[in-house]
Amino acid sequence: MTTQVRSVQPDVAAGASAVEAAIKATALTKIYGPRGGSESRHRGWRRAKDSGADTKPKAAADDVTFSVAPGEFFMIMGLSGSGKSTVLRMLNRLIEPSSGELLIDGRNVATMPDGELRELRNRKINMVFQHFALFPHRTVRENASYALHVRNESAAKRDERADWALQTVGLGDWGDSLPGELSGGMRQRVGLARALASEADILLMDEPFSALDPLIRRDMQDLLMELQRDLNRTVVFVTHDLNEAMRMGDRIMIMRDGKVVQLGTAQEILNSPADDYVTEFISDVDRSRVLTAGTIMQEPLVTATERDDPQDVLRRLSNVEGVGAYVLDDEGHIAGITRADLLAAGVGRQRATVGQLVTNEFKTVGADAPLSDICTLVGRNSVPLAVTDTDGRLVGVVPRATLLNALATPHPRKDDGNA
Ligand SMILES: Nc1ncnc2c1ncn2[C@@H]1O[C@H](COP(=O)(O)OP(=O)(O)OP(=O)(O)O)[C@@H](O)[C@H]1O
Ligand SMILES: [Mg+2]
């Protein structure tokens, strides 16, 4: 298993860096009905805050603020009716916001001239829906290249892009078939291929896998995550499944009644759920599959080099009540582990170094190993399990207590007995 280094910049997501966010939504609000009718966009949308304070109709999206960094996999999650699709569709103005501000690549979408808006929808952003509307009488290749067709690209370019995209999603041999010849899962792949072929930087996905069988769904999640690593698009993905959100997302925005109740990484949400609504969701999460070695690892308390004096390492170990330590070479690779009993035996010997007192009885895992895979390894080791990078250097350790803590639910539901 290898460590994936993602190019997400958290500062950007937090809106604090000079690098531009791909998407920056501020106080986006959508109110349906007569009083919430959209305004002329050339005047811009109202600021949410100065709308009249009298009896307000319920907002489908209420004061929603978030930023998405370039290359980030951003999830929107919540129960049915919480406003997920409304927020997603405001991002390409399929739904016109009632108020708020939206910047895509730093440009204000509300005041964008028509030509630029068309360009945004046709090239910059692509939307993938739960039920892909494939054209039944067009071939899979034609369906995959639909966005390029809309843009009047040449047939040669359309076919080239479509074939590449179909190949990428594992449908390389199906270009000449008709959608009716494909299974449901394969049809979803065509939808994905269509989004990829469009060359859009930003993919908006509204529950694209929720109609699929669990196993196929898992395959599609894996495929999309793999594609994301290679292609590094910005993805905003709507789901009502927190397991899916945590498995795939860099960060997750949890919505309820049109409002954002929490925004954070899987780890942050699991460790400190914002309220009972979130707590309810995370009680269904399989923490052992969502959390990884990299998310819970700690600095090793003691490490040694091969040249160290056994007495010295023994003293450092006893200070932390440790029984063993990793012995590292000059580049940080693990040369072995040493243990208190080995060190003690070497103390009397002349010119003994720690390098002569090591064993190979240890196991390592990559930072992206799920906790479900490391439970048995942690149980067996006499030193905390080592987490290594792709070059085999020690980057952290997982002590047994840390693992058990991470797997336990930190906030058991309060039974506050209000009558
Ligand atoms: N065209 C519309 N007119 C009036 N109300 C609407 C309209 N579309 C959505 N709503 C309301 O806005 C709220 C948010 O709906 P939205 O579709 O964004 O929720 P959602 O989180 O995507 O739900 P689901 O998981 O069922 O897709 C709901 O209360 C819904 O009834
Ligand atoms: Mg929806």
Tens-digit pLDDT profile for residues 52-89: 445 567 899 999 999 999 999 999 999 999 999 999 99
For the CA atoms of 51, 60, 38, 103, what is the dihedral angle to 10 degrees? 90
Q: How confident is the model at residue 412 (pLDDT cuts 50, 70, 90)?
A: very low
Q: How confident is the model at residue 418 (pLDDT cuts 50, 70, 90)?
A: very low
Distance from the alpha carbon of residue 89 to the mean position of ligand 1, in angstroms = 11
Q: What does the alpha-carbon distance between residue 185 and residue 179 come to, in Å, rounded to a whole number? A: 11
Ordered DSSP codes for 70-100: TT-EEEEEESTTSSHHHHHHHHTTSS--SEE
pLDDT-wise least confident of 37-41, 103-107, 113-117: 37-41
pLDDT score of 175: 94
> Which ligand lies nearest the alpha carbon of 57?
1
**Where do the H-state alpha helices sit in 349-414?**
371-380, 400-407
Phi-psi region at 373: left, alpha or beta (left = phi > 0; alpha = psi -120 to 50): alpha
Is the confidence at residue 38, as pLDDT, over 70? no
Instruction: Tell me whether residue 203 is in a domain.
Output: no
pLDDT score of 361: 86
Is the confidence at residue 3, as pLDDT, over 50? no
Instruction: Tell me whether residue 264 is in a domain.
Output: no
Instruction: Give me the domain span that covers residue 337.
Output: 295-406
When divided into structural domains, the chain yields a total of 1
**Span 6-31, pLDDT tens digits:** 444 444 444 444 568 999 999 999 99
**Span 180-231, pLDDT tens digits:** 999 888 888 898 898 888 888 999 999 988 877 888 888 888 888 888 888 8
* Smallest CA separation from ligand 1 atom 7, residue: 32
The amino acid occupying position 45 is: W
Is the confidence at residue 238, as pLDDT, over 80? yes
**Span 285-309, pLDDT tens digits:** 888 888 889 888 999 999 999 999 9
Instruction: Tell me whether residue 402 is in a domain.
Output: yes
Q: Is 379 in the pocket of ligand 1 (CB under 6 A)?
A: no
Distance from the alpha carbon of residue 102 to the mean position of ligand 2, in angstroms = 20
Q: Is 168 in the pocket of ligand 1 (CB under 6 A)?
A: no
The rounded mean pLDDT for the chain is 84
Phi then psi for residue 207, to 5 deg, are 45, 55
* Protein residues near ligand 2, an ion, with CB under 5 A: 85
Q: What does the alpha-carbon distance between residue 375 and residue 83 come to, in Å, rounded to a whole number? A: 38
Q: How confident is the model at residue 381 (pLDDT cuts 50, 70, 90)?
A: low
Choosing from 35, 62, 85 the residue with most ligand 1 atoms within 8 A of its CB, the one to mutate for a pocket test is 85
Instruction: Tell me whether residue 183 is in a domain.
Output: no
pLDDT score of 46: 55
Burial of 53 (0-12, 13-18, 19+ CB in 10 A): exposed
Choosing from 28, 31, 32, 204 the residue with most ligand 1 atoms within 8 A of its CB, the one to mutate for a pocket test is 32
Nearest ligand 1 atom to the CA of 85 is: 22
Q: What does the alpha-carbon distance between residue 406 and residue 292 come to, in Å, rounded to a whole number? A: 10
Q: Which two tokens stand for residue 386?
A: 């080592």
The position carrying tokens 């394969």 is: 186
* Smallest CA separation from ligand 1 atom 26, residue: 80
pLDDT score of 226: 84
Q: What does the alpha-carbon distance between residue 93 and residue 352 come to, in Å, rounded to a whole number? A: 72
Q: Which two tokens stand for residue 199?
A: 């060359």
> What distances in angstroms separate CA 168 from CA 144, 158, 176, 185, 193, one per listed residue?
12, 15, 16, 15, 8
Q: What is the CATH number of the domain that holds 391?
A: 3.10.580.10
Is the confidence at residue 40, as pLDDT, over 50? no
> Which ligand lies nearest the alpha carbon of 78?
1
Q: Looking at residues 116-144, what average pLDDT do you find?
A: 86
Which is more confident, 18 or 323? 323
Host H or E run for residue 366: strand 364-366
pLDDT score of 9: 42
pLDDT score of 383: 85
Instruction: Tell me whether residue 73 is in a domain.
Output: no
Q: Is 60 in the pocket of ligand 1 (CB under 6 A)?
A: yes
Answer for the pair 255, 85: CB distance below 8 angstroms, yes or no: no
Is the confidence at residue 414, as pLDDT, over 80? no
The position carrying tokens 């929720």 is: 210
Distance from the alpha carbon of residue 260 to the mean position of ligand 1, in angstroms = 15
pLDDT-wise least confident of 37-41, 130-134, 385-389: 37-41
Is the confidence at residue 113, as pLDDT, over 70? yes
Instruction: Tell me whether residue 290 is in a domain.
Output: no
Is the confidence at residue 279, as pLDDT, over 80? yes
Q: Which of 163, 148, 168, 174 has its CA nearest to residue 227?
A: 168
**Span 143-172, pLDDT tens digits:** 999 888 888 889 999 999 999 999 988 899
Answer for the pair 221, 208: CB distance below 8 angstroms, yes or no: no
Host H or E run for residue 66: strand 61-68
Q: How confident is the model at residue 408 (pLDDT cuts 50, 70, 90)?
A: confident
Q: Looking at residues 338-346, what average pLDDT do you find?
A: 90
Per-residue burial over 267-276, b = 16 or more CB atoms within 10 Å of its CB, e = otherwise: bebbbebbee
* Smallest CA separation from ligand 1 atom 29, residue: 81
**Span 240-261, pLDDT tens digits:** 999 889 989 999 999 999 999 9
Which is more confident, 257 or 111? 257
